[in-house]
Amino acid sequence: MNSAVRLAVVAVLSAASPMAFAQAAGASTLAVTNCHDSGPGSLRAAITGAPNGSTVRIDGDCPVIMLTSAPIVIGTNITIQGPGADELAVDGGGVHAVFNVNAAVTATISGVTIQHGASSFIGGGVYNLGTLTIANSALRDNSVTQGCDSSGCFADGGAIFNYGGTLTITNSVLSGNTATAPPTPGPGANGGAVSNYLGTATITDSVITGNSTSGVGGGISSGLGTVTVNSSQVSDNTAGRGGGIDSGSGTLDVTNTRINGNTATGGTDPYCSTCAFGGGIDNEGGVAHVSNSSLSGNTATAAGGQGFGGGISNTGTLAVAGSSLSNNSAGAGGAAGSGGALFNYGNTATLDGSLLSGNTAIDGGGIYNGSGTVNITNTHLNRNAAIGQASPVCPCAFGGAIVNNGVVHVTNSSLTGNTANMIGGVGFGGGISNGGTLTIAGSVLSGNSANFSGGALSNGGPAGGTATITSTVLSGNSSGGNGGGIDNAPVGAPGTVTVDSSRLAGNTADRGGAIENGGRGTVNVLNSGVTGNTAAGAVVPTFGGGIDNQGGDVSVTNSSLSGNTADNGGGIEIGGAGTVNVTNSRLSGNAATGVVSGVCPCASRSCTSPVRTCPGSTRSASPASITGATLSA
């Protein structure tokens, strides 16, 4: 029977008897037989008249059902089956939302496209209060704009607003949806595609792409609810904060998912209108877990303002496991930015078994810990970059891999090839810039560089900095100024570094090939080897192939300094008014290759007159205590 005859027969049956729907399609199945907004045979009539447990079936003869009067209300437990998202669209005409699901209702929608829905206040495409499953469908080009009621002014869910309900989305595509609101009044817009408030949303095997909001959550926004995203893609979405996903004071679980190319542009924070948080994910005070997932190419940048967390911004509790954060960025085009991959403030972030690579920011190319605690375990930070920003106060770049102003623990991890190099300025900490409390254990810092201070680590800030390094290798790092491996207490800042059972080898700087210690610094080296480091660079003469102490306090115990080279003080250069204590250690094979003037008590070596040279292991302009140590050429 051809489609025209079938439609005619069903229409006759419908007109002849109130039971025509059930008789034509079976006791539990209702057939939609035309493309009308309402009336017999329409989708609206089928859904409105469907008893609990019914199935409403839409065949392939109707490519578009245009709604001209109002959203369709789903008030009973039903299943709506379409022929496929590419064969049927239910269209709101840019005037109405498409579906409203009542509380205490369980409904399933599959095989349809929901498009051009429009609403003020809530749910441009779908408003759900019940238990709703959307499968094998598409939601595209729906929109919500700000509306107001007694509770405030909102624009929630360009495609879907889930309010206290249970929402499941499977094998579906949400694209081109928008949620917009003016800057005031009210908190603005939430969820370019999905807004979840006080509810539970689970998204599996789906794509959320090209959605946008002027507020929070370009793809997904959740407030005081639970969102699970599994085996999905969240890409190319845009928001003021949380370009891909924004979770506020709820729970977010992301597994086996790609979050890429999303952007946070700022303008939504009442305390900082020019701040952009979380290009990929913004976790606002909630609990977030990201596992076996990738976040790449996400950006947090605000014109004339600041971007925080190109990949993730966290002010809650965050755990990242078995995941990669790559090529994300914070700050660009004159805007400041902190934390290319991760920005953490005031709470706890944990990274385990993950990769952070190729991320960039003004400061903290990989991670910026403003305060709070970051735990890094079995993780590789590679080729991240702090690029700095022109400033009359400090044209500086801090922390190629990590900036820490709180507490950071690095365990069994590696930091390689990270940079803090600012053109026309100065870079601090190619690997790490630390102004808080830092521990590094069982790790490798290699091939990092800064163009001024601390190839691997620059330690010390206005409030000081404490770094403890244990069973770690620092090798092949370089600084264009001070401390190829470690620069402690730079530019007058206080700092304390303890190096225990570790090795510093093959590092290079103008001063302090392995370690530079400033006038307010304390360095303790225990049970360690400082080997084959070089003070060499554009500035001559160079000082301290192994260690250069400029007025601070250095203690070397049960350690060896060998094969280090500088113009002055091949092993240790002792300058200023500081003290150096060397106990039960060996200084051998170090070389001072240049000529110097001034005081030169070369320990066990003799000086040549009238030009005094210091070819041995130490050169001192102030007293040094050397006890139980062996010094040899």
pTM for the complete prediction? 0.91
Q: Residue 296 is encoded by which pair of tokens?
A: 């790449």
pLDDT at 333: 65
pLDDT digits (tens, 9 = 90+) for 432-486: 999 999 999 999 999 999 999 999 999 998 788 999 999 999 999 999 999 999 9
In the three-class reduction of DSSP (H, G, I as helix; E, B as strand; rest coil), residue 429 is classed as coil
Percent of the chain with pLDDT over 90: 78
Contacts of 5-9 with C-beta under 8 Å, sequence gap 24+, read: 6/33, 6/61, 7/33, 7/34, 7/41, 7/61
pLDDT-derived band at 153 (thresholds 50, 70, 90) equals confident
Q: Does the pLDDT of residue 215 top 50, yes or no? A: yes
pLDDT digits (tens, 9 = 90+) for 362-382: 999 999 999 999 999 999 999
Q: Residue 577 is encoded by which pair of tokens?
A: 């008014």
Lowest mean pLDDT of 29-33, 98-102, 353-357, 571-575, name the range.
571-575
Q: Does the pLDDT of residue 621 top 50, yes or no? A: no
In the three-class reduction of DSSP (H, G, I as helix; E, B as strand; rest coil), residue 543 is classed as strand
pLDDT at 630: 63
SS3 sequence of 168-200: EEECCEEECCEEECCCCCCCEEECCCEEEECCE
Name the region of 34 (left: φ>0; alpha: ψ -120 to 50; beta: rest): beta
pLDDT-derived band at 629 (thresholds 50, 70, 90) equals low
Q: Which of 291, 297, 213, 226 is nearest to 255 (CA)?
A: 291
Dist CA 49 CA 462 (whole Å): 71
Q: Does the pLDDT of residue 7 top 90, yes or no? A: no
Q: Does the pLDDT of residue 276 top 90, yes or no? A: yes
pLDDT at 541: 87
pLDDT at 626: 67
- How remote is the C-alpha of 379 from its chain's centroid? 15
| CA torsion, ordered 439, 489, 452, 307, to nearest 10 deg | 60
pLDDT-derived band at 142 (thresholds 50, 70, 90) equals very high
Q: Residue 556 is encoded by which pair of tokens?
A: 């070397």
Q: Which of 566, 580, 559 is nearest to 507 (CA)?
A: 566
**Annotated domain spans of the chain:** 21-239
Dist CA 605 CA 614 (whole Å): 8
Lowest mean pLDDT of 11-15, 128-132, 424-428, name the range.
11-15
Bigger pLDDT: 414 vs 620: 414
pLDDT at 270: 72
Q: Residue 492 is encoded by which pair of tokens?
A: 């007058």
Q: Does the pLDDT of residue 19 top 60, yes or no? A: no
Q: Residue 111 is encoded by which pair of tokens?
A: 């095989």
Dist CA 579 CA 564 (whole Å): 20
Q: Which of 67, 69, 78 is nearest to 101 (CA)?
A: 78
pLDDT-derived band at 149 (thresholds 50, 70, 90) equals confident
Cβ-contact 582, 558 below 8 angstroms: no
Cβ-contact 569, 549 below 8 angstroms: no
Q: Does the pLDDT of residue 581 top 80, yes or no? A: yes
Contacts of 21-27 with C-beta under 8 Å, sequence gap 24+, read: 21/46, 21/49, 25/57
pLDDT digits (tens, 9 = 90+) for 493-512: 899 999 999 999 999 999 99
pLDDT digits (tens, 9 = 90+) for 71-120: 999 999 999 999 999 999 999 999 999 999 999 999 999 999 999 999 99
**What average pLDDT does range 300-310 have in this prediction?**
92
Q: Does the pLDDT of residue 166 top 90, yes or no? A: yes
Cβ-contact 304, 334 below 8 angstroms: yes
Give the N- to C-terminal CA distance of the chain in Å, as an integer: 102
Dist CA 416 CA 414 (whole Å): 6
pLDDT-derived band at 187 (thresholds 50, 70, 90) equals low
Q: Does the pLDDT of residue 616 top 50, yes or no? A: no
Rg for the chain, CA atoms, rounded: 32
Range among 288-292, 568-572, 603-607 rated most confident? 288-292
Dist CA 466 CA 488 (whole Å): 9
Dist CA 19 CA 29 (whole Å): 12
pLDDT at 485: 98
Enumerate residues 6+ apart whose C-beta is below 8 A from 278: 241, 242, 243, 244, 246, 264, 300, 308, 309, 312, 313, 343
Name the region of 144 (left: φ>0; alpha: ψ -120 to 50; beta: rest): beta
Cβ-contact 445, 413 below 8 angstroms: no
pLDDT at 357: 98
Q: Does the pLDDT of residue 405 top 60, yes or no? A: yes
Cβ-contact 493, 518 below 8 angstroms: yes
Cα distances from 3 to residues 44, 87, 148, 366, 587, in angstroms, run: 21, 15, 46, 61, 95
Q: Got the DSSP string for 133-163?
A: EEES-EEES-EEE-EEETTEEEEE-SSEEEE
pLDDT at 23: 35
Lowest mean pLDDT of 302-306, 429-433, 470-474, name the range.
302-306
pLDDT at 625: 65
pLDDT at 577: 76
